[in-house]
Structure 1
């Protein structure tokens, strides 16, 4: 019995002994010592949960630049250990040259991958980036990198503008430009070079900054070029009409940026001096008192006014095509067409009180004259006009130039050069009731011809109507504007056929009157509705001419002997003076001539007065609100006649596809000025965008406004 009890106790003790842990065995990591882990299959504690630490990026011997560098390290866990990772690694950057060490701030930790961001210092050289895990038995990893903070070299070369030697009456250099300047209608080739071997060619980028906040150009591309003695050479074509230029002259800034392979960025910039000055021509034969007419290929025709005055034909590029000494030209010429489509110029030079109308071909050869030699006609001081008359006797339609001659033998002449010189109707006349020069030039609508009484008489518009069946003129109809109390000096036709006139008076006693008048319908039958602005023109400075924009917006300046008056834009037929005024620009200048409405909603004006005696001004304005865009005040003569506007031309005279054009300004100093402007010709949406309607000066709405097609 006692033996059985002893044996039972031994069995119990043996069972209890089998339940105790075997040394090194485990169920979980907490059963193991520091830095040990519990083997997931053998349930034994093992050392080294982590098998390695590596830096994945950057790799050894990487070259880094100035930008932030991501340092990414990865801690490898033993495959049989549970994936438990410490929350932090220690990141440092040490400069090799002196051991200076910087601690980096860890940015993220996920599944054994850790990141930190290092901003390389300004000191270039070798650096060691190190990651250490204090919880992983001091595992660490490092890479050596090179810091390169030097941006690639860039040299931007803008060639100097070449000065053209004055020749044959032309000057091509802006007289007030402080350095030789490129013209706004030119293209300049800019060269970019770099001798940095680590330059990234794909990163080279060009921006051309507009002047004074003007529009920037950002879409230009560099083209690699050879030969090249540098690591990189490229050129870019800069069209100087594209950047914004809210002035007559200024400096664009070409900025070139590029980076090397590690992101160091270099920017280099160089100014490009630019001017709107294209050329000036001095005919050395008197003041220019007429508006130039523009031919089909852009030829500019005009005359000068001294006793030995000449007629000139100039090419748009600034060369003289021909000149012809015919006498004083006081009335603006007009351009028609020969049967072969080439230009036919009508001009009426004179001497003393007599004048002759010439029809000249595009080369200056005389085709016909009117009246015939030996006959007489008075001087022509207003613009010639062109229409196309059907003659029943010929059963054909003929181009007909119309001129008004005063004071001696006052007459209207109708000149048809396509008829033979022996024909009695090649040059015919109609009595002119006035013996003084008329106030406004002839304007035409169909078979109706409108002109005004002389400046010294009442404000009256006259209308001759041509009867093609009888080949005669009906008795003239007159439309008086006595309420204006001043003679009419300019006329035009608005939308709907409204005849619009400008009037003005400055008497020897100091009385001034001036404004805009309108007749409701043209041709008028019986009574007509009349309108004027201002309703009382007394005290308003004279208005000599005007332009009419889309929607019948009339824009005009005022004529002062000195000083400056406003430009005004009004709504035609508005019910009151207050409702009429759309915009005004005070102190804009003195304007004996009409402004010009250009495409791109820009108005151009030439002033008789300027900042000092002997100078005038040329200005550009927003046509919608008369905000000034630019003004030239230091190098243009006073203007009495209206300017002309044309598009840019190719070398053969055909219109070029471009966003710019050329403004031609005649001056009393005897020069014709050509300026590059930001309108590719006249505003074709306007019913009367310039003096005498169109580029050819025909005074006829049936003529296309522009030769630019």
Structure 2
């Protein structure tokens, strides 16, 4: 140091006044400080230290430029290492780096150093990586790297921080892809940079350094990078199916592409696996939109770990999905299953699988043409007959299993089912025969025990050797007649041909298990019924039906004279097929040809010859069958000679046609109305269609070509368990459709029939085909 100059690196702290010779550092000369005078110039003044100064004064002076530790020492090692220093001249430790700054050092200090009484000292103590933590696991997304540059607090007020730090990364496996760093931002002593890790699974070392390496030691952390999404697998087992046969309906869809499809009313448990630990795993199921595309998605369902997965995956979970929950706007299609989850690094993986779903439940082959609508029992057993010469009556459980069969003759009219009592119900059915040796031709009426399949007593037989044979060609019904002033359940039939009487099949006496037949008109002068026509009855023994003479008639059982006879449409009349009774309004539907007919209305409590004119806007097309709701809306098909057939909604309270939708085909069968407002139709060309009854009247989905020349009207039941009990109000229902020789069961979204007691939602009113408005429409909730 020059005489009178400032302490500099390598120079003396103070030089003896007037002394010559080489300069020495403050520390080097300290041993002589109490023996000779020294000058220390600091902040513009000089303090003379002379050898005569006492130790106390010297310590007081030192206190201004150092922080004594109070520990005796002979070297720095005695001061605990690190920043501890030993002043050997007085044998005391002090904290290094606490020497006060001075104005000038010679040579000058670097920007990252402070000029102090002890020379150039480091301004920065360390680099501290605050995030990510050492051995942290990071994923594929951006990672915030945050570093604090720790300054010596004694020089903090004069320290200037660099604008940036140097960030780098290296892979422990020697790979070259280490990701990339974005621009560095500084907030006082903290630096932040965004690091985009490589798309790999690797271990990397992140290093941060001062722009000038000598300023402060660099710092590093090790991070584990997992930028690869987990791999998921969705496994769906094939459904279990019992092959069809003589005693079991065929459960497989007739479309071979859907032979292994799940049914709409089934549940499926899927196994979900992953190749690494994952969390927040959810399964989202999307339904089937119109046209077969991906429909609306359900709320994601959490997947719980556990269950059985193929192989030994790191993660295995299962989820059960009720297939009636997603939307399904087609008869068959593919639902989408999508699983998502994250691994420990936050990478989100997913997998998608398709599941074929069909509404086909089963089809039972009766080995004979089915012309009449099936009837349902209390436990959902389906009763129907075949119209071949050696016909049969079948009882099929909701599962498609045959319960029993009874050999009869040709069944051309729909059966009716009585009330459930003492664990069973009676199935009332008529069958026609021809050319039987010793008997001739005629009709037989039977009451069959629904539980056992046994015929009660000898069938009532109405034969004729020559002439027009008796026959039963319309539906059966259930009414009540009296025995000894006691009302008893009575199966009601209109026996046509040369017999001409309504016949009641009822107990032989009050409370008897045996049944017998009773004529309503002993003179046998009642008109013949229309083939395939309806039969409406009440619990007071009154009944009405359409005749083959183009009339509608009403009788009271046991009274030969008609209470009234109406001529549909006036003039020579129109042939009527369908009938519906809404409180006191009897509706008939029919027509003589393609371009004539309509819907005819008669007051049920009329007498004599009441009018039965066609309702406005219904008299220019044949109407084969109809159904009606309690809000005075009727639904029917209008048949024309050309291709312009219509499905109509008619407002009976106006009365006026409120809407018609084109091209449903020829509807010989009655529609069915579900509890959710959906309408089901089957046309003669074998197309099943589902319609919304709300505005607009529009088709939701169709199943084409299930058969030809369909005459039997469909029926609708709720979902049932193995014991026949209804499963619940929100489960999909089952639509039964007879096509050719087969009875089909289709899963539909309507839970059950519309069950308003003032409605007529299907052929013959209710699932039991009683034709009686007092009968509950269904026992489904």
Same fold (TM over 0.5): yes
Q: Is residue 220–residue 238 contact of structure 1 (8 Å, CA) maintained in 2?
A: no
Match of 2:670 in 1: 594
* Equivalent residue in structure 2 for 1:72, among 137, 146, 149: 146
How far is 1:123 from its partner? 4.7
SS at match of 2:150: strand
User: Is 1:444 aligned to residue 537 of structure 2?
Assistant: yes
Match of 1:703 in 2: 775
**Correspondences of 1:444-483 after superposition (within 5 Å):** 444-447=537-540, 449-455=542-548, 457-458=549-550, 460-465=551-556, 472=559, 475-483=562-570
Match of 2:87 in 1: none
User: Is 1:621 aligned to residue 691 of structure 2?
Assistant: yes
* Structure 2: runs of 5 or more not aligned: 1-40, 48-63, 66-99, 435-440
> For residues 344 and 536 of structure 1, what CA distance do their matches in structure 2 show?
38
1:135 to 1:491, Cα distance in 2 relative to 1, 3 A: farther
SS at match of 2:301: coil
How far is 1:108 from its partner? 5.9
Match of 1:5 in 2: none
TM-score normalised per structure 1: 0.83
User: Is 1:568 aligned to residue 642 of structure 2?
Assistant: no
User: Is 1:276 aligned to residue 356 of structure 2?
Assistant: no
For the pair shown, the structure with the greater C-alpha radius of gyration is: 2
User: Is 1:326 aligned to residue 398 of structure 2?
Assistant: no
SS at match of 1:621: strand
* Equivalent residue in structure 2 for 1:60, among 125, 128, 134: 134
> For residues 323 and 273 of structure 2, what CA distance do their matches in structure 1 show?
21
Q: Is residue 507–residue 513 contact of structure 2 (8 Å, CA) maintained in 1?
A: no
Q: Is residue 432–residue 471 contact of structure 2 (8 Å, CA) maintained in 1?
A: yes
| 1:185-209 deviations in Å (ceiling 9; x for gaps) | 2223322233x3x422x33221222
* Equivalent residue in structure 2 for 1:688, among 760, 766, 775: 760
User: Is 1:513 aligned to residue 605 of structure 2?
Assistant: no
Match of 1:535 in 2: 617
| 1:657-692 deviations in Å (ceiling 9; x for gaps) | 35212111112x211111122222212247111111
How far is 1:555 from its partner? 1.3
* Equivalent residue in structure 1 for 2:442, among 343, 346, 354: 354
Match of 2:205 in 1: 128
* Equivalent residue in structure 1 for 2:349, among 241, 256, 266: 266
How far is 1:267 from its partner? 1.7
SS at match of 1:557: strand
> For residues 570 and 168 of structure 1, what CA distance do their matches in structure 2 show?
44
**Correspondences of 1:161-560 after superposition (within 5 Å):** 161-168=239-246, 170-179=249-258, 180-194=260-274, 196=275, 198-200=276-278, 202-211=279-288, 212-217=293-298, 218-219=300-301, 221-225=303-307, 229-284=312-367, 286-337=368-419, 339-352=421-434, 354-362=442-450, 363-368=452-457, 371=460, 378-389=470-481, 391=482, 394-417=484-507, 419=509, 427-430=518-521, 431=524, 433-435=526-528, 437=530, 440-447=533-540, 449-455=542-548, 457-458=549-550, 460-465=551-556, 472=559, 475-483=562-570, 486-494=574-582, 496-506=583-593, 512-519=595-602, 521-524=603-606, 532-535=614-617, 537-538=619-620, 540=621, 542-559=622-639
How far is 1:259 from its partner? 2.5
Q: Is residue 85–residue 111 contact of structure 1 (8 Å, CA) maintained in 2?
A: no
State which drifts further: 173-182 or 306-315.
173-182
SS at match of 2:456: strand
RMSD (CA atoms): 3.8
User: Aligned residue pairs: how many?
Assistant: 659
User: Is 1:666 aligned to residue 738 of structure 2?
Assistant: yes
Q: Is residue 395–residue 403 contact of structure 2 (8 Å, CA) maintained in 1?
A: yes
How far is 1:411 from its partner? 0.6
Q: Is residue 127–residue 149 contact of structure 2 (8 Å, CA) maintained in 1?
A: yes
Match of 1:89 in 2: 164
> For residues 679 and 158 of structure 2, what CA distance do their matches in structure 1 show?
78
Q: Is residue 562–residue 590 contact of structure 1 (8 Å, CA) maintained in 2?
A: no
Q: Is residue 766–residue 776 contact of structure 2 (8 Å, CA) maintained in 1?
A: yes
How far is 1:419 from its partner? 2.4
State which drifts further: 169-178 or 326-335.
169-178
How far is 1:628 from its partner? 2.1
Q: Is residue 596–residue 619 contact of structure 2 (8 Å, CA) maintained in 1?
A: yes
**Correspondences of 1:33-48 after superposition (within 5 Å):** 35=111, 47-48=121-122
User: Is 1:158 aligned to residue 236 of structure 2?
Assistant: yes
> For residues 184 and 588 of structure 2, what CA distance do their matches in structure 1 show?
79
* Equivalent residue in structure 2 for 1:146, among 199, 224, 237: 224
SS at match of 1:593: coil
> For residues 482 and 30 of structure 1, what CA distance do their matches in structure 2 show?
123
Match of 1:612 in 2: none
How far is 1:98 from its partner? 5.9
How far is 1:548 from its partner? 1.2
| 1:156-178 deviations in Å (ceiling 9; x for gaps) | 22223445333116322212131
* Structure 1: runs of 5 or more not aligned: 1-16, 610-615
Q: Is residue 371–residue 427 contact of structure 1 (8 Å, CA) maintained in 2?
A: no
1:634 to 1:69, Cα distance in 2 relative to 1, 3 A: farther
Q: Is residue 91–residue 106 contact of structure 1 (8 Å, CA) maintained in 2?
A: no
SS at match of 1:178: helix
Match of 1:8 in 2: none
> For residues 149 and 259 of structure 1, what CA distance do their matches in structure 2 show?
11
1:425 to 1:673, Cα distance in 2 relative to 1, 3 A: closer
1:101 to 1:645, Cα distance in 2 relative to 1, 3 A: closer
> For residues 299 and 112 of structure 1, what CA distance do their matches in structure 2 show?
83
> For residues 709 and 296 of structure 2, what CA distance do their matches in structure 1 show?
31
State which drifts further: 673-682 or 100-109.
100-109
> For residues 202 and 613 of structure 2, what CA distance do their matches in structure 1 show?
84
Q: Is residue 93–residue 102 contact of structure 1 (8 Å, CA) maintained in 2?
A: no
> For residues 676 and 163 of structure 2, what CA distance do their matches in structure 1 show?
65
How far is 1:529 from its partner? 8.5
**Correspondences of 1:109-128 after superposition (within 5 Å):** 109-110=186-187, 112-128=189-205
Q: Is residue 290–residue 331 contact of structure 1 (8 Å, CA) maintained in 2?
A: yes
SS at match of 1:203: strand
Q: Is residue 570–residue 612 contact of structure 2 (8 Å, CA) maintained in 1?
A: no
How far is 1:464 from its partner? 2.3
> For residues 121 and 140 of structure 2, what CA distance do their matches in structure 1 show?
42
How far is 1:406 from its partner? 0.7
